[in-house]
Chains A and B, each alone.
Chain A
């Protein structure tokens, strides 16, 4: 895998991760309810910044853990074809699932395809939280709650990062986290600068089908590309 190819795959995986919406939904609920209590702007900023910090930390920890586990289990920087085949198959499967299930089709708004008890719990906590610490914890949990969809891009990114030279691996990790949290960072800036949460939510609702289609398609394209590049090509050229 060439350097350019590694970065292209990493950036695409991060962009797919960025298109998942649970954290932005929770941020919208959290800030909406903070505003209903006439929370001071500084306090609102503390709450949403803490939430963002939790999300960024959990994405960093998840990717670091997967990269460490892959490096440790494989005893090698290069994953064998069988691992790439499994990961690409998983990505294609998740891509189809995103197409079919990511949003609950028959409901209005941006209701996600998550276990209802978990979604209701997250929503109720986001409505009640007043402490920056709890907000930070909610940020951590929001990443975990969406593992079903985000694990595929995280796994591919982890396998790409361990192939990079040691000095570049940290840069790869930072680039992934920055891109994956970009929509959330944008939402934090918009809410912090006084934009209406109704406009943000309405934009998300109006564009949810496009985001769903783009995320699913990109995951399938990424899975197929990885399969061809890392499984078929080495096999046909006599590699392992």
Chain B
């Protein structure tokens, strides 16, 4: 069994384990939306996924919003615009 914290989604009220693929897909979309190049995107996604995994090792249970904030902060180091879009993609309308 993984040592990573479980993720609670407030919207669906379900708990799930961390999916690196799902996070990578969302991060990839945010990076593309601000026009980053493929090389930068690949590097950014790898770094952020690793950073979030390390952070989850120190927790028992977190919410999906916590994961989003954490990933956005890590992504902002590479690209502030991509981090902003990733954090706010569900808060535009």
Given that A197-B85, A198-B81, A202-B84 are contacting pairs, would A108 and B91 also be in contact in the complex, using a CB cutoff of 8 Å? yes
Contact of A109 among B29, B33, B34, B88 (CB under 8 A): B88
Asked if A107 is at the interface (CB within 8 A of a chain B CB), the reply is: yes
Given that A38-B32, A196-B81, A198-B82 are contacting pairs, would A25 and B93 also be in contact in the complex, using a CB cutoff of 8 Å? yes
> Are A201 and B93 in touch, CB under 8 angstroms?
no
Residue total for B at the interface (Cβ-Cβ under 8 A): 19
List A residues 98-114 near B (Cβ within 8 Å).
107-112, 114
Asked if A61 is at the interface (CB within 8 A of a chain B CB), the reply is: no
Interface string of A184-220 (1 = CB under 8 A from B): 0000000000101111011001000000000000000
Query: How would you classify the secondary structure of chain A's contact residues: helix, strand, loop or mixed?
Result: helix
Provide the bound-state CA to CA distance between A36 and B85, in Å.
Answer: 12
Asked if B66 is at the interface (CB within 8 A of a chain A CB), the reply is: no
- State how many angstroms separate the Cβ of A160 from the closest Cβ of chain B: 31
Residues of chain B having any CB pair with chain A under 8 Å: 28-30, 32-35, 80-82, 84-85, 87-93
Closest 4 CB pairs of A and B: A109-B91, A198-B81, A36-B29, A32-B33
